[in-house]
């Protein structure tokens, strides 16, 4: 009987054992998003995001809701957000330094590219530029930020 639970848990962990899927889950922990919004934030193709979402949906991590022509994705249960935060807290404590300090910061910051509200602890990436630290929801926003700044040097 317990083997079935462990097998199901292993499938769930396998679905989350991918950096891009974790990044998608991180974005969705902030609220509902469409695939096109995630494409902009992550900087990866829509087809690739759809494949990752299919894996997450199959394992019950994400759910969809249609509003008009748009399909919005969200995490299926708020405990997924908590689980991601707990694992991240363990990693930050293990590695310490600036990452750990950011993890315990409660201030809200705004991704300068897409405008998503997040905490430094929930940011997928950060970047130091012009004497200031910027926080981003995903790799696509970081790339866009760096590309925009290159012309301003």
pLDDT tens, 15-27?
A: 999 999 998 998 8
Verdict on whether the full-model pTM lies above 0.75? no
Answer yes or no: do 103 and 48 share one domain.
no
For residue 119, being part of any structural domain is answered with: yes
State the chain's mean pLDDT as an integer.
86
With a cut of 90, say whether residue 88 has pLDDT above it.
Answer: no
pLDDT for 4: 92
Compare 70 and 104 and report the one with higher pLDDT. 70
**Which residues lie below 8 Å from residue 146, measured CB to CB, with a gap of 6+?**
127
With a cut of 60, say whether residue 105 has pLDDT above it.
Answer: no
Rounded to the nearest 5 degrees, what angle is found at the Cα of 100, between the Cα atoms of 95 and 105? 170
For residue 84, being part of any structural domain is answered with: no
Compare 93 and 100 and report the one with higher pLDDT. 93
Answer yes or no: do 63 and 126 share one domain.
no
For residue 64, being part of any structural domain is answered with: yes
Q: For 31-144, where are the E strands, in sequence order? A: 62-67, 70-75, 109-110, 117-118, 125-129, 132-136
Percentages of the chain per state (helix, strand, coil), in multiples of 5: 55, 20, 30
Answer yes or no: do 108 and 51 share one domain.
no
With a cut of 70, say whether residue 58 has pLDDT above it.
Answer: yes
Answer yes or no: do 100 and 71 share one domain.
no
For residue 82, being part of any structural domain is answered with: no
């Amino acid at each position: 009987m317990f083997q079935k639970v462990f097998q199901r848990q292993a499938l769930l962990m396998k679905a989350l054992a991918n950096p891009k899927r974790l990044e998608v889950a991180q974005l969705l922990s902030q609220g509902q998003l469409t695939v096109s919004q995630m494409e902009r934030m992550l900087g990866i193709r829509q087809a690739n995001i759809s494949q990752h979402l299919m894996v997450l949906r199959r394992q019950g991590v994400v759910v969809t809701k249609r509003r008009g022509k748009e399909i919005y994705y969200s995490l299926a249960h708020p405990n997924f957000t908590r689980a991601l935060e707990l694992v991240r807290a363990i990693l930050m404590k293990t590695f310490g330094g600036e990452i750990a300090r950011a993890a315990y910061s409660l201030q809200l910051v705004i991704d300068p590219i897409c405008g998503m509200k997040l905490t430094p602890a929930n940011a997928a990436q950060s970047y130091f530029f012009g004497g200031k630290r910027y926080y981003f929801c995903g790799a696509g926003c970081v790339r866009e930020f760096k590309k925009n700044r290159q012309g301003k040097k």
